[in-house]
């Protein structure tokens, strides 16, 4: 969602104005059914914010199926790239949220870098252009098994093999 205040809690619409974004408003929809980025019935339990219209040239990316309220939009930017606004609280524990995010990134031309088998573990690859490090984060209260394959920034294909990530732990690979 777009910030409405700066770090001193003063009203601030710099980003919203740069995107020509319409006003945002909290939606009070009993049992919303959100269709987002081509994924139907994305779980919505918590903050749900609607957009009062679209920026010029933007397209609707998500809406409540029953009321038609706009919950996400995509707008191509003059200098290149695309701004995506999605007014929905994201839940890591819901598979349709991850599926919708994958669909959104693919629609924007993104391609998967990491292939994670075993799930329920966040995998983040960071590089400074020369060296790289893979971070694996288990947010659950039980250990998780995972295997990650990816092409490193140096072009070599990497495979972690099966790893066990302890509960509530961030682990790096290689160690």
pLDDT digits (tens, 9 = 90+) for 76-118: 888 888 889 999 887 665 677 778 888 888 888 887 788 899 8
Instruction: Say whether pTM exceeds 0.85.
Output: no
Residue 77 and residue 51 share a domain: yes
pLDDT of residue 94: 64
Q: Can you give the residue range of the structural domain that contains 146?
A: 114-173
Residue 151 and residue 92 share a domain: no
Structural domain total, the chain: 2
Cβ-defined contacts of 52-55 (< 8 Å, 24+): 52/22, 52/23, 52/24, 52/25, 53/22, 54/22, 55/19, 55/20, 55/21, 55/22, 55/83
Residue 165 and residue 93 share a domain: no
Residue 121 and residue 58 share a domain: no
Q: pLDDT above 90 covers what percent of the chain?
A: 46
Residue 160 and residue 81 share a domain: no
Tokens 């949220």 belong to 97
Residue 40 and residue 92 share a domain: yes
Band (134; pLDDT cuts 50, 70, 90):
very high
List the CATH number of the domain containing 160: 2.60.40
Q: 70, 90, 107 — which closes off a domain?
A: 107
Q: Would you say residue 162 lies in a domain?
A: yes
Residues in the chain: 175
């Amino acid at each position: 969602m777009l910030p409405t205040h700066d770090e001193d809690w003063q009203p601030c619409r710099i980003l919203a104005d740069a995107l020509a974004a319409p006003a945002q408003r909290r939606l009070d929809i009993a049992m919303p059914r959100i269709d987002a980025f081509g994924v139907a019935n994305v779980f919505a339990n918590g903050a749900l914010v609607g957009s009062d219209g679209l920026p010029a040239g933007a397209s609707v990316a998500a809406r409540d199926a029953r009321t038609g309220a706009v919950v996400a939009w995509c707008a191509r930017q003059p200098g290149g790239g695309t701004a995506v606004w999605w007014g929905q609280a994201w839940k890591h524990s819901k598979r349709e949220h991850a599926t919708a995010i994958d669909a959104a990134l693919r629609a924007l031309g993104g391609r998967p870098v990491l292939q994670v088998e075993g799930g329920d573990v966040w995998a983040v690859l960071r590089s400074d252009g020369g060296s790289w490090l893979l971070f694996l984060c288990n947010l659950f209260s039980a250990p998780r098994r995972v295997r990650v394959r990816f092409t490193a920034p140096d072009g070599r294909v990497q495979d972690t093999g099966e790893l066990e990530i302890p509960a509530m732990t961030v682990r790096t690979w290689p160690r």
